[in-house]
Structure 1
Amino acid sequence: MTTDFESEAEEFDEGPSKSQRKRDMHVLQDLGRELTELKASQLAGIELPDELREAIIEIERIRQREAKRRQLQRIGRLMQLVDGDDIAAQLTAIKSQGTLSVQRQHVIERWRDELLSDDNDALSRFITEYPDTDIQHLRQLIRQANKKQPHEKATTNSRKLFRYIRDTLAQND
């Protein structure tokens, strides 16, 4: 035999508390805010309903603070209609691509700096690590980048060397 108190308790236990629903809503709003900070090309790679995509794009033209806040709330409400975990996973993948890109840039810059330094072994290490390198062309680029020239010309030659290293690393991936 159930009492009135037990039947009332069962009614209240049917879903998450109001506080939990608010926390979930804030998480979705934060996820929506992260989506608004993406570049258009990155946003295009994420599967979103059209209405949500339009709301995210629309926030860029809004300048007033209060209007932006309301738009973010609207995005948060629209986020409830989609799988937040799926979007978060896609967003994480985009961020990790950016991290890998930065790491790759650092590797290329390190090689360029080593090749331009007075370290004679740097060229040997590079050729050993990347055997299909055009050695003659690489030496020419290093020589041009090391020449005493006006600043613009030196920068241009350094960029050419950077691009060659980047392309060589990309061929070996």
Structure 2
Amino acid sequence: MRQPEDLMNAMRGIEEESGEFLGPSRGELRREALAVLELAERLVKLPHARLLQLPLSEDLVGHVMDAQRITAQIAHKRQVGFLAKKLRREDDELLTSLRTALDHDKSESRRENAALHRIEALRDRLIEEGDSALSEIVAEHPHADRQHLRQLARNAKEEKLRNKPPHAYRELFRELRELMNADAEDPSDP
């Protein structure tokens, strides 16, 4: 006859001989479920066009779109939970590929934001320092229009001093962004 302790171990999923757990713990199961819930929340925040690019079945896309349409807080939360339940039934490969695609989007967005911040800093430096910063820009980008950039920097500085709308300030940003994008796309540059 089995002892009460043996019965408890059998109920918990502990192997009698080695004393090891047979399956994942409740904590592990909960962490996995929360990770899938977070994935579902990330999917619901995606625009429709990006959603269609992901390897999702039509059924899952429909559930995501349902969650996007629902605006009532509790109903939305319930629908996201339902989507997470559907995702938990999918194989691990799909979940991994979805996470990889979403993480790639996040890192791409970070790179784009960093590039925009560099352009903004370059614009501000060009306005403040003038010709010394312009010389460095032209040295890095020989095909840059020196006169046009100088004029935009002067106009932007003047707009700032006179509290006028920042037309030249924005135009200078656009010019610098085009200059950086042209260099990034040009394969002949070292």
What TM-score, normalized by structure 2, do the two folds share? 0.76
The equivalent position to 1:35 in structure 2, one of 24, 40, 43, is: 43
> Could you tell me which residue of structure 1 aligns to residue 33 of structure 2?
25
> Could you tell me which residue of structure 2 aligns to residue 105 of structure 1?
116
Deviation at 1:60, TM superposition (A): 2.2
**Equivalent residues in 2 for 1:104-143, closer than 5 Å:** 104-143=115-154
**Equivalent residues in 2 for 1:1-173, closer than 5 Å:** 15-80=23-88, 81-82=90-91, 83-148=94-159, 151-152=164-165, 155-173=166-184
Identity %: 27
> Could you tell me which residue of structure 1 aligns to residue 187 of structure 2?
none
Deviation at 1:65, TM superposition (A): 2.6
Structure having greater relative contact order (Cα 8 Å, sep ≥ 6): 1
> Could you tell me which residue of structure 1 aligns to residue 188 of structure 2?
none
SS at match of 2:122: helix
Deviation at 1:170, TM superposition (A): 0.4
Amino acid at match of 2:37: Q
Deviations 1:62-90 (A, max 9, x none): 12232122211111122121421111111
Tell me: CA distance 1:144–1:41, structure 2 relative to 1, closer, same or farther (3 Å): farther
Amino acid at match of 1:130: H
Number of equivalenced pairs: 168
Contact 1:42/1:94 (8 A) holds in 2: no
What TM-score, normalized by structure 1, do the two folds share? 0.82
In the alignment, structure 2 segments of 5+ residues that lack a partner are 185-190
SS at match of 2:32: helix
SS at match of 1:133: coil
C-alpha RMSD over aligned residues: 2.7
Contact 2:130/2:153 (8 A) holds in 1: no
Deviation at 1:146, TM superposition (A): 2.7
Tell me: CA distance 1:145–1:19, structure 2 relative to 1, closer, same or farther (3 Å): closer
Amino acid at match of 1:162: F
Mean Cα displacement is larger for which, 107-116 or 74-83?
74-83
